[in-house]
Chains A and B, each alone.
Chain A
Amino acid sequence: KAGVTQTPRYLIKTRGQQVTLSCSPISGHRSVSWYQQTPGQGLQFLFEYFSETQRNKGNFPGRFSGRQFSNSRSEMNVSTLELGDSALYLCASSLDIGFFNEQFFGPGTRLTVL
């Protein structure tokens, strides 16, 4: 069974641009979560989607948004990029949204904002 895939793996953008990252969960998984990882702030939760609905959202500005499609694939978008948005963005999928559901992570997208 294929794991979680994220595209692109690496991305370089300039301040003010916008970016869209994609995540394909493991087949059959319906929940997708997004995390931002930076050296300064560590791993921080962005949002979680289940059945095309955002179920949970972390403490990030409105420039960060996401969506989930009917096939469970998810995208996150960051508008008006800032230097501080440079980070590794990790996507994780799980079977459903129940309390214990092991989250399987993808390899991440490394975003650099110049």
Chain B
Amino acid sequence: AQKITQTQPGMFVQEKEAVTLDCTYDTSDQSYGLFWYKQPSSGEMIFLIYQGSYDEQNATEGRYSLNFQKARKSANLVISASQLGDSAMYFCAMREDSGSARQLTFGSGTQLTVLP
């Protein structure tokens, strides 16, 4: 089974509007972390936001917020007031806290295009 599922291969949003990128995850661990990364066409992965499984509040970082619904195992990224520079590939990732599964496991990504 896929550990991280991103069901939107591509998304379009108008500049200055908000957009939600979906992410669901699968784990039996109680302790885990969820990450979102942005990858522009240059290739470098840029860390955006982190949510721990025990965090009660949704994480926020500037224009980025994470809509964490633990019971549904979803960790959607919300980008408010989209900018042209937000056009990139976005990856959701998880790090479990059990034994050898401490590496980041990535989803397949969502290509976001911001339209002027």
Contact = CB atoms under 8 A, between A and B. Distances in A.
Contacts of A48: 102-103
Interface stretch (A18-26, A66-74, A77-85, A106-114): A106-114
B42 interface: yes
B106 A92 contact: no
Contacts of A51: none
B81 to A, nearest CB: 24
User: Secondary structure at chain B's binding surface: helix, strand, loop or mixed?
Assistant: loop
Interface string B31-64: 1010001000011111100101000000000000
Nearest to B106: A43
User: Secondary structure at chain A's binding surface: helix, strand, loop or mixed?
Assistant: strand
Contacts of A45: 103-105
> Which of B37, B44, B50, B91 has the most chain A CB atoms inside 10 A of its CB?
B44
Interface residues of A, number: 24
Contacts of A108: 43-44
Contact of A99 (B37, B45, B91, B95): B95
Interface of B: 31, 33, 37, 42-47, 50, 52, 91, 93, 95, 97, 100, 102-109
13 contacts: A33-B104, A35-B106, A43-B106, A45-B103, A90-B45, A92-B45, A99-B33, A99-B95, A103-B47, A104-B47, A107-B42, A107-B43, A108-B44
